[in-house]
Amino acid sequence: MDDQTRMMTGLTGLGGLAQADVGDPDSVRKQQSLGQPQQDIGDILQQIMAITDESLDEAQARKHALNCHRMKPALFSVLCEIKEKTVLSIRGVQEEDPPDPQIMRLDNMLLAEGVSGPEKGGGSAAAAAAAAAAGGSPTDSSIEHSDYRAKLAQIRQIYHSELEKYEQACSEFTNHVMNLLREQSRTRPISPKEIERMVAIIHRKFSSIQMQLKQSTCEAVMILRSRFLDARRKRRNFNKQATEVLNEYFYSHLSNPYPSEEAKEELAKKCGITVSQVSNWFGNKRIRYKKNIGKFQEEANLYAVKTAVDAANVSAQASQANSPATPNSASQLFRGVDTLHRATHLTGGYEELSGSGLYTPHCLDANSWQDTTNPPSVTSPPGPPGSVHSDTSN
């Protein structure tokens, strides 16, 4: 309604049809006494103004009559022109929404998470790669749980179906509105530009809905991630074979139980765990071993025996392979048994072991780990193993 009056005022001014204010009923009456064209226009305007007071049927008939009026096209175009100048120009400036940083962030994350990326052709591999590339976190390859992937795929599927629904609804609604406006544009001043604007508004609304979808999808992914990544929540002990491999390495490198990056990778592969898990394990092992060497003595001996036996077997096999006919294998085996024997001796009696040569020097050597000023070869006299010896710090 307000628009209507504004249009009217605009019309009078622009068209120069009348100097007086059309909104004033008196002026309309005054116009009737004027010349023929003016009277005609005034007549039409009065009819338009009065149309709301009439009954529905009357109004319908009146509308039709007005529609067929010979002045209608001219009047209509003028109204359009005015409307464009007044109504549209008012809000026409605050357009141009820049690519929302928020939605960009969401998009990036969904892409990185493998939710919105390319379709599931490569499947988990692509997703995992994307996640790894995005996160770069040490936890990357630990997300290989099939459960995780299944849940992620589920989220992905929901996301895509929802997105599709939104898009469809958006285009449907846009079409509907456009048809409606086109339809109405026959009786009401609506310019194509206005339709365009309307479409843009609709799209903005729908994209804000999309953002909500993206937001909740991100949230779901984050929750899923945290649930699966927080291994503390669902800690599993490594399997026996894995701990065996790790312990073997630890005790056979007791003088310097710091596996290199390559060694860690190798161990990780052998144990079916990640490199960071290997690092954790060695970190824990070192500190716990150092804290209470006595407690680990048995274990140390066990693995010393194990490695000794392995060494014996290996050397026996090697010698056999070297010279199948040689009777030397017996002596090789014996050497293995010898080491084994000496190793078994170690149980309990670590005092005499210093200098036994197998591994003992390292056992009591935890103080020299990480100590560049004190190479392992020149070990300081070991403290009482059972008691908690002084911490290196302080």
Partner DNA sequence: ACGTATGATTTCCG
Partner DNA sequence: CGGAAATCATACGT
Would you tell me which residues interact with DNA (CB under 7 A)? Answer: 139, 142, 229-238, 243, 258, 273, 276-277, 279-281, 283-284, 286-288, 290, 295, 369-370, 391-393
The CA–CA distances, whole Å, from 157 to 120, 149, 167, 226, 234 equal 10, 12, 15, 20, 27
Torsion of the alpha carbons at 322, 328, 332 and 335, rounded to the nearest 10: -160
> Smallest distance, Å, CB 293 to DNA?
12
> Smallest distance, Å, CB 99 to DNA?
32
Choice between 196 and 230, CB closer to DNA: 230
Show Cβ contacts of residue 249 under 8 Å, excluding neighbours closer than 6 positions. Answer: 257, 259, 263, 267
Choice between 176 and 227, CB closer to DNA: 227
Of the candidates 211, 131, 219, 105, the one whose C-alpha atom is nearest the C-alpha of residue 163 is 211
Choice between 156 and 285, CB closer to DNA: 285
> Smallest distance, Å, CB 269 to DNA?
15
Choice between 322 and 392, CB closer to DNA: 392
> Smallest distance, Å, CB 239 to DNA?
9
Q: Cβ(366)–Cβ(258) under 8 Å?
A: no
Q: Directed axis angle between helix 293-322 and helix 240-252, to 10°?
A: 90
Choice between 175 and 241, CB closer to DNA: 241
Residue 28, both tokens: 């309309």
> Smallest distance, Å, CB 159 to DNA?
26
The CA–CA distances, whole Å, from 372 to 253, 290, 367, 378, 389 equal 17, 18, 11, 11, 20
How far apart CA 389 and CA 367 sit, in angstroms, is: 10
How far apart CA 9 and CA 38 sit, in angstroms, is: 15
Choice between 186 and 234, CB closer to DNA: 234
Of the candidates 159, 143, 154, 156, the one whose C-alpha atom is nearest the C-alpha of residue 114 is 156
Choice between 133 and 287, CB closer to DNA: 287
> Smallest distance, Å, CB 382 to DNA?
16
> Smallest distance, Å, CB 270 to DNA?
15
Show Cβ contacts of residue 195 under 8 Å, excluding neighbours closer than 6 positions. Answer: 178, 181, 182, 185
